[in-house]
Amino acid sequence: MEGEAPAEILPSARADFIGGLAWIAFGLAVGIGSWQMDRLERMGVSFFTAPGLVPGVLGVLMTACGVVLAVRSWRRGALGAAQLPPVLLRPEVLSRIGVTLLLCLGFALGLVGRMPFWAAAAAYLFLQIAVLQYSERKARDEVARGLLVAAVIALAAANAIALVFEKIFLVRLP
Amino acid sequence: MLDGLVLLGHSFAGFMAVKPILYTLGATLIGVLVGCMPGLSATLCIALLTTLTIKLPPNDAILILICAYVGTIYGGSRTAILLNIPGTAANAAACLDGYALAQKGQAGRAMGIATTGSVVGSLFGVICLALLTPTLGEVALSFGAFEFFWLALFGVLMSGSIAGTDPLKGWMMGLLGLFATLVGQDGIHAHDRFTLGWPELSGGITLIPALVGAFGFCEILTVLSEPMKKALVNSVDSVLPRIADVFKYWKTILRSGVIGVYVGILPGVGEDMAAWSSYAAARRASKEKELYGKGSIEGLMAAETGDNASIPGGIIPALALAIPGSAPSAVLMAAMIIHGVQPGPMLMVTHPQFVYDVVAMTTLATLGMLFYGLFLVRPLLAVIRIPRSIIMPVIFVLCTVGAFAIASRVFDIWLMLAIGIACFVLRKCNYPIAPFVLGLVLGDILDKSLRRGLQITNGDLTPFFTRPVSALLAAITLFTLAMYIPPVNRAVRGVWASALAAIRGILAK
């Protein structure tokens, strides 16, 4: 259902090893949580329909898969010396993701619900578009024009979304 | 049979009005536009439109979703041909020959071929949808908890095996999806599981916000984490399909249609696998193998026929078994449930008309696709030129609204954000997202079926392996899994090769 990842962005064996350990920890937590879950025996519930049965099995399977992943990456040299840094930890990717996350979370957790939706959406859209286009606009020496374009697009898009959802399709907005 | 035709006639008559036709044209257009934008998937499009159409009557809402689904898969071929970037994963196979044709100055012809293949494939799938859904539904009436357990497990296993490049990671994501669906009150005793004391989690992880996070916010972060690139669009010649191409490659079209529907029906296997399988089969049987990858009309036709035939194919098990064939059909199934239609074996008993309504809707969507394929190619290409720096922030606002709108809960926005960030990190570590979605959809069926089955047999696992259909499904599931264990795989291949050699030896005598 999804395309293949290019070889240069595949995670390193060490990243997979750490991932395997994380899966083992998560699987064990799920397994232990399931084992400790109320089995409702006082209500006459059979062991085989206990709420923790299926999550428990899944916890065991996730742990097993985590072990296989960790062992496989260990065999591929996860504990060796030279490893490429994970894609996510490369500085240029981190900075782009950091700014995007800051703006997205700021909008969804900070602005939404605290002001009219169209205003929150317009503020977010303006900032996000302006930030994403800044370097390109700066290179062409048209930062002011870029800000104006971002403002127009932000206002138009925010109002269009609010209008379509709230007025045409009668869907409540946050 | 006659009853079916009468119901089908009623369905078509019901949609022959101005409003459904307008919905068809509007939704197919939205689908084509979304499909034209690389990164935006059919799953996201259907999830967002589900929230937009939540207040509409069920038939109108489902019509819009099906048209958007068909339109998205078709629209994805545009960027595959013009930019060598598949608009959706389903169009990856179309890149090989579509882009090669575009580079030869035949982009319009390639789009005409894609339109023809898509329309014919979709219509072939619609016929199968009309014929197979009632039959499969009737067969499934005899299914019990044992069979549904294996079907759900098989769906997650297949999705994990096929999505991405690492089956182990695919299965892990499937397990994660199955686990995520178990959070909240369990379906038998209403006991809270893994809610961590949050009352909002008692209702479980709602599917639409989860999908919007997994396919929307995750994609936004992925696209914005990469440098922005400008689209360079090839010039376009005549887009009118050539009837001669259809007649010349009729065998390829028929074969690809059959493969597309078959792959679509398989639980958890999506449109992209249908396209690749059809492409590979066409290449094997072709008299012009050397043209494949260099601008083969036949190759492009096979890929586009296969992926579009798999759309109705994927809807067949979703309607008849409540086991979706792909991630987009999983969202479609969820939308049906939201609108009060419960897919599954009882659907033909409780809502027989609805099955034929879906057939009519898919036919209308196909006609809508043909309309845009013939008449609005050049204006639609303008959308490819819109910078991602504008599209992606707007999509994020839609994701926020989409997550909130289903239940009007701010908690669902938090859920969307959390799942989106988690899926982004996992995706960067090469974990595919589609099995997670299949797990989310099938988890409830798997959980209830396993526990009900065990309750019926008082803990005896034997019926899971001895009932005829159950035994067959168990054998397929376990064999599929075992083939990923290298020693087993080598042994099976060895036995197979020996058997073939023995047969050849006998025949030679």
B/e letters for B288-303, b = 16+ CB within 10 Å, e = fewer, are: eeebbeebbbbbbbbb
- Please tell me the distance from the alpha carbon of residue B371 to that of residue B374, in angstroms, as a whole number: 5
DSSP strand E in B21-176: where? none
Q: Is B199 on the interface with A (CB under 8 A)?
A: no
| 8 A C-beta contact, residue B447 and residue B330 | no
Give the closest of A3, A40, A101 to B86, CB-based. Answer: A3
Q: What is the pLDDT averaged over residues A146-168?
A: 92
Q: Both A12 and A52 in a single domain?
A: yes
Out of A83, A113, A142, a domain closes at A83
Q: Which residue of A has its CA nearest to B403?
A: A174
| 8 A C-beta contact, residue B211 and residue B416 | no
pLDDT band for A80, please (50, 70, 90 cuts): confident
pLDDT tens-digit profile of B74-107? Answer: 888 888 888 777 877 778 888 888 888 888 888 8
pTM to 2 decimals?
A: 0.85
Q: What is the pLDDT averaged over residues B338-367?
A: 91
Interface pTM (ipTM) of the complex?
0.89
Q: Is B230 on the interface with A (CB under 8 A)?
A: no
Q: Both A95 and A173 in a single domain?
A: yes
- Please tell me the distance from the alpha carbon of residue B270 to that of residue B282, in angstroms, as a whole number: 19
Which residues form the domain of A75?
A: 1-83
Q: Both A4 and A42 in a single domain?
A: yes
> Would you state the pLDDT for residue A84?
61
How would DSSP label each residue in B171-182? HHHHHHHHHHHH
pLDDT tens-digit profile of B160-188? Answer: 887 778 899 999 999 999 999 999 998 88
- Please tell me the distance from the alpha carbon of residue A94 to that of residue A100, in angstroms, as a whole number: 10
pLDDT tens-digit profile of B279-308? Answer: 999 998 888 888 888 888 899 999 999 999
Q: Which residue of B has its CA nearest to A72?
A: B168
Q: Both A75 and A99 in a single domain?
A: no
What does the radius of gyration of chain B's CA atoms come to, in whole angstroms? 22
Q: Do A2 and B459 touch (CB under 8 A)?
A: no
Q: Both A32 and A74 in a single domain?
A: yes
Give the closest of A2, A30, A174 to B410, CB-based. Answer: A174
Centre a 10 Å sphere on the Cβ of residue A15 and count the other Cβ atoms it contains: 22
Query: Which residues make Cβ contacts (< 8 Å) with residue B322, sequence separation at least 6?
Result: B333, B342, B343, B344, B345, B445
Out of A83, A118, A150, a domain closes at A83
- Please tell me the distance from the alpha carbon of residue B482 to that of residue A66, in angstroms, as a whole number: 18
Q: Both A78 and A123 in a single domain?
A: no
Enumerate the β-bridge partners of residue B192: B185
Cα distances (angstroms) measured from residue B169 to each of A62, A65, A87, B214, B327: 10, 8, 18, 16, 17
Q: Which of B281, B433, B350 is nearest to A3 (CA)?
A: B433
Q: Both A71 and A127 in a single domain?
A: no
Rounded (to 5) percent helix, strand, coil in chain A: 75, 0, 25
Q: Is B462 on the interface with A (CB under 8 A)?
A: no
Q: Both A2 and A71 in a single domain?
A: yes
Q: Smallest CA–CA separation between B509 and chain A, in Å?
A: 46
Out of A30, A52, A83, a domain closes at A83
What mean pLDDT, rounded, does chain A reach?
87
Q: Both A107 and A73 in a single domain?
A: no
Centre a 10 Å sphere on the Cβ of residue B436 and count the other Cβ atoms it contains: 32
Q: Both A21 and A95 in a single domain?
A: no
For chain A, what is the domain count? 2
- Please tell me the distance from the alpha carbon of residue B67 to that of residue B366, in angstroms, as a whole number: 8
Report DSSP state, residue A116.
-
> Would you state the pLDDT for residue A4?
42
Q: What is the pLDDT averaged over residues B28-53?
A: 87
Domain spans in chain B, listed from the N-terminal domain onward: 2-466
Q: What is the pLDDT averaged over residues B134-162?
A: 89
> Would you state the pLDDT for residue B415?
94
